[in-house]
Amino acid sequence: MAAAVFDLDIEQGTDYQAVLTLTDLTPDRQPVDLTGCQVRAQVRPNHAPGAGLLHDLAEQLAITDAAAGQIMLHIPGDVSSGWDWRVGVYDLEVVDAGGRPLRLLKGAVRVSPEVTR
């Protein structure tokens, strides 16, 4: 299954929240069952093998309804306030109970800088 593209546009200093419903690619778009799975995601400046880590999203991700394929991404404003970067790329992987990762989402991360502090 190819990873779907979902770009993140973050307003720095403001809570960002998205409920992601992962579905398969069949015509009736069945939810991906996340029972027993873990999710992970990282932001890096680019796709190069040596690209440094900008932010690990692990603490901002939670499976909220495993059977329905739902994941909550919540980035508190106090977390994004500390970012000194503006653009990156990310991917989101689901790791099954056997330790096998499957990349389901990918995209750009754009941070609109905070002016009012």
Domain ranges for the chain: 4-112
Beta strands in 31-100 (DSSP E): 38-44, 55-56, 61-65, 70-75, 87-95
Tokens at 95, concatenated: 């790791």
Cα separation values, 107 from 13, 30, 49, 65, 98, Å: 21, 22, 17, 23, 26
pLDDT of residue 60: 98
Right CATH number for 4-112 from 3.40.630.10, 2.60.40.10, 1.10.3720.10, 3.40.190.10?
A: 2.60.40.10
Contact between residue 21 and residue 31 where contact means Cβ atoms under 8 Å apart: yes
Q: What is the mean pLDDT of the chain?
A: 95
pTM: 0.90
pLDDT of residue 22: 87
pLDDT of 25 > 80? The answer is no
Alpha-carbon distance of 109 to 43, in angstroms, equals 8
Q: Which tens digits make up the pLDDT trace of 50-62?
A: 999 999 999 999 9
Structure confidence at residue 117 as a pLDDT band (50, 70, 90): confident
